[in-house]
Amino acid sequence: MTHPLKTALKDASLLADKAFVAGRWVCAADGRTFPVTDPFDGSVIAEVPSLSREEVSAAIDAAETAQKLWARRTAKERAKVLNTWFQLILDNADDLALILTSEQGKPLAEAKGEVIANAAYLEWFAEEAKRIDGDIIPGANAGQRILVLKQPVGVCAAITPWNFPNGMITRKAGPALAAGCSMLLKPASQTPLSALALAVLAERAGVPAGVFSVVTGEARPIGTEFCHNPKVAKITFTGSTGVGRWLMKEAADGIKRLSLELGGNAPFIVFDDADLDAAVDGAMISKFRNAGQTCVCANRIYVQESVVEAFTEKLLAKVSAITLGRGTDAGITQGPLIDDKAVAKIEEHVADALEKGGRLVAGGKRSVLGGTFYEPTVITGVTQAMKVAAEETFAPLAPIISFRDEDEVIAMANDSEYGLASYFYAKDMARVWRVAEALEAGIVGVNSGLIANEMAPFGGVKQSGLGREGSKYGIEGFLEIKYVCVAGL
C-alpha cells in the first residue's frame, strides 16, 4: 500500500529514495536497499540504497576533490550558497516537517520547529564564514613576523541520529561548509529521508557536487570506512556514548579530528524559591519534547522537599493533557517511540523504580494505541539507587526525587558519568551563581527548559562528548590553525 506521504507533499521531488553522491542520485551497485518505516504503524514509506564500503570510499574521493575547489571559493561565495540553502529550507518547511514526522513520529508542530530552528545554523555559519580571522604577531626575533592562518580541516564525515533527523544535519553541515570543508553524511537508517530531502535542497541551492553527499547504508561498514580512510580528516557524530566511544577507538589510528555529541542524564532541579508554574512548564518541555527522546531531556527531576507536593500536583495536571497519536494528526502532542528497543528501555526503568519503592502517579504502561506508544509517566519517591537515576531513559518518564538542601542536590546531580545539559529553577541570584558554577555539565538552563539555539555553544563534558556546536565556537572544530614564520624581513 502506498504511504500517504507520497501524495501529501507539495513538492513530491523532496521525497528522494536514492543516495546523493558527488552530485548524482545513485542506487547501490548491487541493488541492495533497506526499508524506511513509519513508527506509527510500521508501514513502509520508501526503500533507500544500502551502499557498500567501496562505494563510500569512492564518495570520499569525490569529496576530497570537491573540497579543494570549495575552499578556494571566497567566504562570501560560500556564505551566499549557505544562505540560499537556508531560505530553501524555510520555503519548504511544511514538506520537510511532513517527511520528518512520517519517518520519526514526532508531532508535526515539533517537526516544523526542528526544521526552522536548525536551518538557522546555516544562516549563522554563513555569517561566521566571513569572520574566520587569523593573526599577525610581532616576531620573536628581529626581521621576523608570526602569521596565524585558519584553514579548513578538509573532508568531514558526519553521522547523525534518528531523534532529530533534520536538525542534526544542518547543525553540522553549516559550520563544515562555512569553513570550506566538504561533508559526507550517514544519516540514521531509521530516518534517512529527511537527510535526502535536505540534499535535494542543497543541490538546488548551488552546493557544488561532492561538497555535500548523503551515503545511506549499514552503519558499521560505513563507519569503518569513515574511520580508516586517510582522506577523511574529521568525524562529527551525534548519538549514543557507546557508538561515540567506538568511533574514538576506530579513529585513533589516523588521529582524526572528532566532534562528539553523545548521551546525557540531565538533572532538573526545583528549589524552594522557584516559580513553580514556570518550573512545571520547563519540566514539561524538557522532559516530554519528542516523547523524551532528546539528549538534553530532563532525566532526573529533583524537587526541594518543601515544594515537592505542590510541584508534583501541578506537573500531573499538565501531563494529563498530553495527547498521544499519529504525529501528522491535529492536536497530537506525543507520538510513538522510535522502536521496540526504546519501549523496552522505559519498561525496564519503570519496573526497576517501582520494585525499589517508587510510587506510580501517572502512566506506567504501553498505550492502548498499541505499537510503540507509551503513556507519559510520572513516578515519585525515586532515589539515586534506581536505574532511572543512573541511565538515560530516552522516553516519556519523569522521575521525581526530593531533596533537603543545595549541597545534597548538587552532589546527586553531579553523580553521573554524563554532563551534557542540566537545569534548575530558583530566584535567589547568589544561589543561581553558586549552582550554575557547581553543576558538572556543558549546558546549564537557569529558569528555562529549552536551551538549544544556533547562537549558543552546545555540547557536553565528561562522557557526553567533545566539542561544541553552534555559536562562534562551533566553527573551530572544522578549522586548523597554521603558524607561518616569515623571516628575513
Ligand X SMILES: NC(=O)C1=CN([C@@H]2O[C@H](COP(=O)(O)OP(=O)(O)OC[C@H]3O[C@@H](n4cnc5c(N)ncnc54)[C@H](OP(=O)(O)O)[C@@H]3O)[C@@H](O)[C@H]2O)C=CC1
Q: Is 86 in the site for ligand X (CB under 6 A)?
A: no
**Binding track over 464-483 against ligand X, x by CB under 6 A:** --------------------
Q: Is 167 in the site for ligand LO4QSZO4 (CB under 6 A)?
A: yes
Q: Which of 120, 188, 214, 426 binds ligand X (CB under 6 A)?
A: 188
Site for ligand X in 18-37 (CB under 6 A): none
Q: Which of 332, 350, 452, 466 binds ligand LO4QSZO4 (CB under 6 A)?
A: 452
User: Least distance in Å: CB of 483 to ligand LO4QSZO4?
Assistant: 34
What residues does 398 pair with on adjacent strands? 378
Q: Is 238 in the site for ligand LO4QSZO4 (CB under 6 A)?
A: yes
Q: Which of 93, 179, 185, 262 binds ligand X (CB under 6 A)?
A: 262
Backbone angles phi, psi at 189, to 5 degrees: -65, -25
Q: Is 394 in the site for ligand X (CB under 6 A)?
A: yes
Size of the site for ligand LO4QSZO4 (CB under 6 A): 10
User: Least distance in Å: CB of 250 to ligand LO4QSZO4?
Assistant: 22
First vs last Cα of the chain: how many Å apart?
A: 75
Q: Is the CB of 161 or the CB of 327 nearer to ligand X? A: 161
- Catalytic site includes residue 261: yes
Q: Is 235 in the site for ligand X (CB under 6 A)?
A: no
Interacting residues of 270 by C-beta distance below 8 A, sequence separation 6+: 276, 279, 283, 301, 302, 303, 304, 307, 311, 424, 425
Q: Which of 294, 328, 393, 416 binds ligand LO4QSZO4 (CB under 6 A)?
A: 294
Q: Is 163 in the site for ligand LO4QSZO4 (CB under 6 A)?
A: yes
Q: Which of 295, 315, 421, 435 binds ligand X (CB under 6 A)?
A: 295
H-helix or E-strand containing 219?
helix 219-228
In which order are the strands placed within the sheet that holds 145-152?
A: 135-138, 145-152, 479-486
By C-alpha distance, which of 203, 255, 246, 205 is closest to 224? Answer: 246
Q: Is 442 in the site for ligand X (CB under 6 A)?
A: no
Marked catalytic residue, from 128, 261, 375, 392: 261
Q: Is 189 in the site for ligand X (CB under 6 A)?
A: yes
By C-alpha distance, which of 244, 301, 291, 315 is closest to 467? Answer: 244
User: Least distance in Å: CB of 393 to ligand X?
Assistant: 8
Neighbours of 109 (CB within 10 A): 15
Cell of 426: 530558583
By C-alpha distance, which of 326, 231, 265 is closest to 460? Answer: 265
Backbone angles phi, psi at 214, to 5 degrees: -120, 110
By C-alpha distance, which of 82, 53, 95, 295 is closest to 186? Answer: 53
Q: Is 165 in the site for ligand LO4QSZO4 (CB under 6 A)?
A: no
Q: Is the CB of 299 or the CB of 304 nearer to ligand LO4QSZO4? A: 299
Q: Is 443 in the site for ligand LO4QSZO4 (CB under 6 A)?
A: no
| From ligand LO4QSZO4, ligand X, none, interface partner of 246 (C-beta below 5 to 8 A by class) | ligand X
CA-to-CA dists, residue 27 to 14, 52, 195, 216, 489, angstroms? 17, 11, 16, 10, 57
Q: Is the dihedral of CA 91, 92, 98, 104 positive or negative?
A: negative
Q: Is the CB of 425 or the CB of 458 nearer to ligand X? A: 458
Neighbours of 342 (CB within 10 A): 22
Query: Would you say 367 and 358 are in contact if contact means Cβ atoms under 8 Å apart?
Result: no
Contacts with ligand X, residue ranges (CB under 6 A) = 159-163, 186, 188-190, 219-220, 223, 238-240, 243, 246, 261-263, 295, 392, 394
Instruction: Give catalytic residues, as residue numbers.
Output: 261
Which residues are at the interface with ligand LO4QSZO4 (CB under 6 A)? 163-164, 167-168, 238, 294-296, 452, 458
